[in-house]
Each structure stands twice: as C-alpha cells, then as structure tokens.
Structure 1
C-alpha cells in the first residue's frame, strides 16, 4: 500500500503528473548540470583564463559567488514557496538557469561570465528546494528507497564526473561546447517539468517576506565566499580576507540562533535541534568539507607534482563514481531500516580512510594511490551527505522538508566551499615544496574528519539515541516525524 502526503488542491493539471520516471528525470536534469560544473573549473582554469582574459582570482571569485548563489537560492526558495506554487518557482528557476547559461556562452569577458555562473548557482539552489521534496513525497514510500539512491547519484555522481569533464576541457578546449550541452539539458528539463510538475496551492499565500532570515542568509552566503576567493591573490592577514569571512560566519550564527528563537521561523532550526538530525547535519558538513578539500588537493598534486595533463588528472579522479554507486546501493537497501545513521557515520569513516591513503602519496605512486583513495572519498560523499540530509528531513514534519533541505544545504555549502580553498591555499604557501604543503593540508583535513567522527559519536552517546526503524508511513501522511529523536544530551540531563 502506498502512503502519500496529502497534496493541496491542484491548480495545474499536467499530462505526466503521476509519472514517477518523468519526475525523477526532471529532478536530475534540474540539478545535475550545475553539479557537474562545480568540479569542472579547477582543471579548465587555464583555458577559461585565456578565453575570457581573466586572472585566476577573477575566475575563483566567479565560482565562489556561484556557490554562494546556490546556498542562498535554496534559502530564498524556502520563503518563495510559501506564497508561490512550486510549479511556478520551478519553471522560473529553470528558465533563469538557461538565461545564466546564455550569458556564459556569449561572454567575451569575465564580468559577463561571472554574472552567468552566479545565476546558474542561484537558480540551481532554487530548483533543489522546489523540485526535490515533491519527488520524495508524491510517489509513495515504496519508491522512496529508489528515490534516495537516485538523489545520491544525482548529487555526487555528477560531482565526481566533473573532474573528467574539466580535464577534457583543460586539455582540448571546447568550454563553450560544455556550456552549450548544459543549456540543452536545462531546456529539456524545462520541457519535461512543464509536462510533469503539478501546480499547488501555496502553503501560506498571505505570508510576508522574511526580512530577518533572507538578508542574513544573503550575508552568510556571499561574504565568506568572497573572503576565501581573495586568498587567490592575497594573504591570511589581508583585511579583504579576514573581514568578509568572519563577518559572514558571524551573520550565519546570528541567522541560526534567530531562527531557533523565532516562532513560525522560515527554517526549522528548533525542530531539528535534537540528536539524530544534528548528527546528520554535522555529518553532511564534515563529509562535504573534507571531500571537497581532498579532491582539490589531489587535483593540484597531480597537476603540479606529477605534471600530468588535465585530462589524465581527471581520469585518475574518476574512480570516485565507483564509491558513490556503492554508497547509493547501500542507502537504497538501508533507508527503511534502522541503519541509516550508521551508514551516514560510515561515510565519514570512508573519508578518513581516503585521507589516510593520501598521506602516503608520492610522485612514484600518485597514479595508483590517488585513484584508490578516490573510491573511498566517493563512498564517503555518497554515504555521508545524502543520508545526513535525510536524517534531518525525516526528523521534521514532511511539510517542512523543503526548508530543512535549504538549511542543511546552506550549512553544508558553507563548510565545503570555505574549508577547501583555505587548505589548498595553505598547501600552496606553506613548506619548501608543494609536496610538504600537501601533506600538511591532508593531515589537517584528516584530523578534522576524525574529530567529526568523535563529535557525532559523542552526540549519539550523550543523547542516548537508539537505532530504530523510521516511521515512514506516519511521516508521509503528515501525522508524525519519521524519527523520534531524543533531545541533545538527553542522557546527561536525565542523569
């Protein structure tokens, strides 16, 4: 028997509304093009610099602002869908992504390219929150394991394909062909979405714009990403680095605290402030940051120390997809059981193994050891981030799934795209050679990841969390949350 969340009165009847496979295709086409691009730029950097007459800092800034746009777009959409139907938001965002792609394709200079990639990032964040919850909620819990596996592959399978694509562009040019393909995929996604995405009555048509959360989310997204990009041309002590990073992080803390204490807050900080969702969110943040950092460090090592071409570098990183697929298959089989938290923890442990292997990398073994380490990193990403996302989503009412995803993605993006560039800069500037800096940055990443494991285990222990099968039927019908998680430190409080 299928259980579905009660859906508000449908305003727009579309021919493929009940077609699960069309809905899956729509979501993958909405998210995958941009996710591939997030890991393309490093290996395609020289080609883009020459074509656009850009400096490395200008391109790093463009991609940093694009990632910030992704994080902010997710939060902004959590506000929009209260007043506007998800269908309208989806169609607008997909059209906006196409517009951004056209700007990139027609760019003759870095300014227009930057504007285009920021639009691509922002509208993809919107597409995530607009399209993913309906796919999860409207097709029955019997399909939820397959959906979860598809989401995992869609998230990190595409990310792991980026280095190979970037390597091809970096070795053979053709970057405009890449963005042309991205635009075509988005246009197909828009067409399928128009035939698949149902309209709905907005959740709160009379709701006002959130003048607290949205400006804070904007500052928390764009300020620190600018500061980190500055390291490409500056130093740790520069005001242009220190002020934006610390101001942005402070604004992020204010945002989370304010949402916790606000009644009817845009993002459900208070509902997920208990053992399982907090551990899931921390897992997603730790894995996202460690994965991104180690991937960038490995790319740089292969290019600088092994002197491999971009395309060979991309090929050596491609085994990540094997780990992602293994993790996705395991997630499919564990989603409806009590083992999802354990799978999420295994994702962090996968990163630990991959990082430990990278400590042994040298010029003589890089082409063997790095691909093996990539398998573990891919597993860590697939087993850590998506299960962590679902741990948070299952711990709130299904009606709050979109805002919950927005919150977790904001926090994960902050961790992933701040720590990575900082540690890569450390590797490039510390030590007598890049090999020394590489070892230092990998070691720091490994220590941070191990601390993440200990933190998650500590939260579980202090909360007295027990492994229990999620109540997906109650969650899908809106009667309850799937996980009935103990409060933070519940065992210590009761003792």
Structure 2
C-alpha cells in the first residue's frame, strides 16, 4: 500500500493542481471560525464572569466545555465519515457549529453558555479531523506537504489571532458578538463546501464500536472534570479531584488495550502510534497545546487583573505574540527540511520557555514594552513548533491509516489544550486564594515555563535529519 510522503523530502516545484487548491481553500474558510472559536473567548472570561456573577473557575468551563465536546466527538469522526460521507459530514459539522454560536449569543447564565459551547464543540469536533482527511484524499502525494503547510499555517494562526480579535470585539461591542460573527463566516464556508467539495458515497458496513464509546469519551471527560474540580476542591488530593482523574486514567488504559485487540474495527485505532514519527509528534503536539492554550488564558487574565487593562487592551497586547508566530512559520519549515523535526522542536520549545519565564516575576510596575518583546519570543517558539509537527506526524503511514492518525492527533491537541487551561487556571486559583494575586500568576507561569522546558528536552524522541524519502 502507498505510504504518505515524507515531510523530510524536498519540496516539489510543480504547480499545485486546481482541484487541490480549491479544496484546500474551502477547508480553510470552513475551519477558520471553528479553530478561532477555541480562543476568541479567552480574553472575555473576565467579562463573562462579571456579567453572570460567576467566579473564574466556573467561567473557564466556557473554554474547557468546548474542548471537552471536541474530545467526545472527535473519536467518532472516522466512523461518521464512513456512514455519511466526508462532504455531508463536513456540512453537518459547520451547521452544528453555527447553531451553537446562535445559542451562545443568546445565553442567559453560565450553564446555558457552557451547554451551547458544547454544541459548538460537537460541530467543530467532526470538522477538524476531516480537514486533514479530505485534503489527504484529494491531493496528489507530491502536493501534500505544501498544502498541509498552508492549511497548518492558517489554522495554526487562528488560535493565536483569536485573543486579539476577541479583545477588539469585546472592547467595542461586547462578548456576545464573538458568537454572532461566526454566522457570516459559517455561511460562506458552507456555501463553498456545497459547491466545491466533491460528493462521496457512504461506505457500507462498519458498526460503531460501542464498547469503545463507553470507555474513551468518559475517560477523556473524567480527566478534564478532575482537573477542573481542583480550584473548587481547594487541593489536588481531594476526592473530588482524584476520583474522576483515577477513573479517567483507568478507562483510558482499558480503551488502549481494547483497541489493540480490536485493531482496525476499534473506535480509534491506536496502532498508528506504533509508527515512530506519529507517536513522537503526537506527544509533542499535546505539550505544545498545553503551552499554547494555557498561555492564551493566563496572559489576558494577567493584564486585566494585574495590570488593570480592559479586554480590548489585553487583546491588542497579544498582537506581538501572533506576529512572532507568523514570522517563524516558513523559517521553521525550511529548518525542518535542512535539520529535521528534532532540531526545530527543541528550538521552538526553548524559545517558548524563554518567552514565558519573565512572566513568572511580573508585577504591576513591569514595563509593557519589555513584556511585549518577550511575547514576540514566545510567539516565535510556539509558531515554530506546531506546523512542522503536524506535517511530520503522517510520515511513513499507510494511506488507510491517515484518518485514524488524524483522529489521534486531534484528540491529543484538544486534550492538551484542555489540560493546559484547567491545570493552569487551577494553579492560579488555588495559589491566589492563599495570598495576593501576583504570586498566583507567578506560580502558574513558572509551571508553564517548566512544561515548555520539559518539552524541549523530550524533543529528542522526534526523528532526526537523514530519515527522508523523496516526494513522488
């Protein structure tokens, strides 16, 4: 069977064919509001909490609930695609996301907002694995690396641009418009998909792995719920935290054993992690998501609570972060072609750690210009990591394994993002409860810098230079 093109190979100089270009454009437009939706609300958490009279531990579930819904539905993406076809499932996902956006915009309390965000997450959860799967199915092998890089650039920038856009919208017209603005974007994406994504027929057979459904989604939710309870429980050793964490871990291990037994008939075929590039990139993407999403929640909160800025100012202060990420993308791809993903990952995580450590000693008197320079460095590091890891993760896989690998990678990213948000907010909340606000931020940023530093050290597991196959 044909294997996916190696990300270490040379770039093809032939023009990308028209069919692939228009499909990639459609996927980018459709997925942009979905990816943007994971972070636009981060700068609005303070406003949401004030508006509804909720504490920050409750309002952070507006972010985590979205990510939890993604974790629930992403494992079903491959099975749903077989039942409905890629085009029909893509359109259904965009429609569900738009419906959830309307319900978020008219929500009346934290519970209704969280429920609506989970509907958004269900729609976004089926579209994100399809983003990679459809592209790999349509594009010829010689174009896959370049197309994946372009799609990864746009979708990778969306989470970083989200807080900036969110800050502008919240500061000018209010947080509810973060959801209303998804409707025109969704309408364009749906229209393009109906016109340009080729029809495909559902595949006969393939029963849903019911036992896998009983194990994997509850496992992910147990882990997320345990972490989210830490701020309210007051300590990590509380039964409210340990019980769901333990249950989630046991269910996850049980699912892995079940999947290895059931093989290609399992809900998610974890055997794809037997491929070196896939398991290594999956691990590093999980850690990258912890650093990215955790920071994008902590940074706006720090400026609003410690520096007393508005949501608009907090969003604008994150512009250097996005600029740094944009500047590093294509340089990272060229560096990967020359030195391999290991060097790129070590460099990127090292810069992310350096760009995070100064926030561990920030105080109300810290100069904004110094923090903005540091944010550029942090953005350079984050931007350098994500796209190369996304491309190298499919190295050496059979074509039939690509949908399963896409699901595994998406689960790791969403779980990592949820872990980053819940862990760091829990640290911030529990630490600040015992003293003033600055020590809480100092501790949370110290932990984040430690995660980035640990990821830099773990980057040695990635393939080095020399393991290359020429493009077809």
Give the TM-score band, short-chain normalised.
Answer: 0.7 to 0.9
Q: Name the structure, 1 or 2, with higher relative contact order (CA <8 Å, separation 6+).
A: 2
Change (3 A) 1:334 1:27: farther
Whole-angstrom distance in 2 between the partners of 1:266 and 1:395: 22
Q: What does residue 457 of structure 2 align with?
A: 454
**Partner Cα separation in structure 1 for residue 90 and residue 288 of structure 2:** 29
Seen in structure 2, the aligned counterparts of structure 1 residues 226 and 88 have a Cα distance that, compared at 3 Å, is same
2:13 equivalent in structure 1:
none
SS at match of 2:270: coil
Distance 1:472 1:247 in 2: 45
Aligned partner of 2:12 in structure 1 is none
Q: What aligned pairs does 1:58-137 form with structure 2 within 5 A after superposition?
A: 58-137=58-137
Where does residue 485 of structure 1 map in the other structure? none
Q: Helix, strand or coil for the counterpart of 1:209?
A: coil
Distance in 1, matches of 2:231 and 2:447, equals 20
- The answer to whether 1:413 aligns with 2:414 is yes
* 1:272 aligned counterpart, secondary structure: helix
Q: State the distance in 2 between where 1:153 and 1:76 align.
A: 26
Cα separation, 1, equivalents of 2:321 and 2:418: 19
1:126 Cα deviation after fit? 0.4
Q: Aligned equivalents of 2:396 and 2:339: distance in 1?
A: 14
122-131 vs 249-258, greater mean Cα deviation: 249-258
CA distance in 1, matches of 2:4, 2:228: 44
User: How many corresponding residue pairs?
Assistant: 455
- Structure 1 residues 340 and 155 mapped into 2: Cα distance closer, same or farther (>3 Å)? same
Please report how far the alpha carbon of residue 97 of structure 1 lies from its aligned counterpart in structure 2 after TM superposition. Answer: 1.4
Evaluate the alpha carbon distance shift between residue 466 and residue 262 of structure 1 in structure 2; reply closer, same or farther with a 3 A threshold: farther
Task: State whether structure 2 residue 289 is matched by structure 1 residue 283.
Answer: no
Residue in structure 1 matched with residue 214 of structure 2 by the alignment: 215
Is 1:33–1:182's contact at 8 Å kept on the other side of the alignment? yes
CA contact (8 A) 1:30 1:124 kept: no
Aligned CA distance change for structure 1 residues 246 and 19 (closer, same or farther; 3 Å): same
Could you report, residue by residue, the CA deviation over 1:253-300 in whole angstroms, capped at 9, with x for unpaired residues?
332343234322443422332432222112111111122223333222
Question: Paired residue for 1:429?
Answer: 430
Q: Which runs of 5+ in 1 are unaligned?
A: 6-16, 474-495
Unaligned stretches of 5+ residues in structure 2 = 6-16
Are residue 442 (structure 1) and residue 445 (structure 2) matched? yes
Q: TM-score, normalised by structure 1?
A: 0.83
Going from structure 1 to structure 2, the CA distance change for 1:85 and 1:338 (only over 3 Å counts) comes to: farther
Work out the CA distance in 2 between the residues paired with 1:43 and 1:218.
28
Structure 1 residues 260 and 141, CA gap change in structure 2 (3 angstroms)? same
- TM-score, scaled to structure 2: 0.86
Note the C-alpha offset of 1:164: 1.8
* Counterpart secondary structure, 1:394: coil
Q: 1:434 to 1:113 in 2, by over 3 A?
A: closer
Q: Deviations over 1:444-475 (max 9, x none)?
A: 22223322222331x35xxx9653224443xx
Is 1:377 aligned to residue 389 of structure 2?
no
Provide the residue aligned with 1:483 in structure 2.
none
CA distance in 1 between counterparts of 2:48 and 2:142 reads 45
Report the Cα offset of residue 245 of structure 1.
Answer: 2.8
Shift of 1:158: 1.1
User: Which whole-Å deviations, capped at 9, do the CAs of 1:305-343 have from their partners, x for residues lacking one?
Assistant: 211222111111121222222232135546766624432
Whole-angstrom distance in 1 between the partners of 2:30 and 2:251: 30
Contact 1:78-1:406 within 8 A present in 2 as well: yes
Instruction: Quote the Cα distance in structure 1 between the aligned partners of 2:249 and 2:355.
Output: 29
Hey, which of these two has a bigger chunk of helix by percent? Answer: 2
Quote the RMSD (CA, aligned, Å). 2.9
Structure 1 CA distance for aligned equivalents of residues 194 and 424 of structure 2: 43
In 2, distance between residues paired with 1:97 and 1:64? 16
